[in-house]
Chain A
Amino acid sequence: ETGVTQSPTHLIKTRGQQVTLRCSSQSGHNTVSWYQQALGQGPQFIFQYYREEENGRGNFPPRFSGLQFPNYSSELNVNALELDDSALYLCASSRSSGNHGDTQYFGPGTRLTVL
């Protein structure tokens, strides 16, 4: 069984640029959630996608957007990057709608540095 994979592993951008992060969900999973983990903090929920639609959003501005594809893989897009966006971005997948609070399995993350 293939686990959750994310790409790229590391990324360096400058302020104002745009970035796209990618996630492949675990086999058999149809829900993808994205989290931001700043240094020394717990992960913060950004949003969740279920069957290609946004299924909930945390306290993040609209410049954070996402997509889910028919194969359940997902993208996180961040526009107009700010220095505070520097963090580890985690993708997690689960088997059914997030309303059921199913167990989420995490990928290794993408480390984004904004200069």
Chain B
Amino acid sequence: AQSVSQHNHHVILSEAASLELGCNYSYGGTVNLFWYVQYPGQHLQLLLKYFSGDPLVKGIKGFEAEFIKSKFSFNLRKPSVQWSDTAEYFCAVTPLGSSNTGKLIFGQGTTLQVKP
């Protein structure tokens, strides 16, 4: 079955620390990859996406992610977190192909708490 796994459920960091959130998916074909963020009291927002090309993608607010096809991974990184990065982060995958419909398959989410 197609699935997305986020390894860290709850991460606590101090400001200026570096962040890496793991994401792996199970699907052998071509995928589109996304990271969404949900700030407290707000709706899901797109952080960054990968469709094709350079596997290192940059998103908003200094976030970046690297697609490693051989590892079925799409890890999210930020060199230096801020208190305002406190939020829930979701990795999502869209399997492509005739039998798929563009649905997003989400991971369970990672709650990031940044201490000032």
Q: Write the residues of chain A forming the contact surface with B, with a CB cutoff of 8 angstroms.
A: 31, 33, 35, 40-45, 48, 55-56, 58, 90, 92, 94, 97-109
Q: List 7 A-B contacts (CB under 8 A).
A: A45-B105, A98-B101, A98-B103, A99-B98, A99-B100, A99-B102, A103-B46
Count residues on chain B whose CB falls below 8 Å from chain A CBs: 27
Which of A42, A45, A58, A105 is close to B90, meaning CB atoms less than 8 Å apart? A42
Minimum C-beta distance from B95 to chain A (A)? 8
Selecting from B11-19, B64-72, B76-84, B106-114, the interface stretch reads B106-114
Query: Given the complex, which residues of A lie within 8 Å of B101, measured CB to CB?
Result: 48, 55-56, 98-99
A103-B49, A106-B43, A107-B43 known; A41 vs B102 contact (CB < 8 Å)? no
Minimum C-beta distance from A31 to chain B (A)? 7
The binding surface of chain A is classed by DSSP as: mixed
Minimum C-beta distance from B59 to chain A (A)? 12
Question: How many residue pairs between the two chains, A and B, have CB atoms under 8 Å in the bound complex?
Answer: 70
Q: A101-B32, A106-B44, A108-B42 are in contact. List 16 more A-B contacts (CB 8 A).
A: A40-B109, A41-B109, A42-B4, A42-B90, A43-B44, A48-B102, A56-B100, A90-B43, A94-B102, A98-B101, A101-B51, A101-B96, A105-B46, A106-B43, A107-B43, A108-B43
Minimum C-beta distance from A29 to chain B (A)? 13
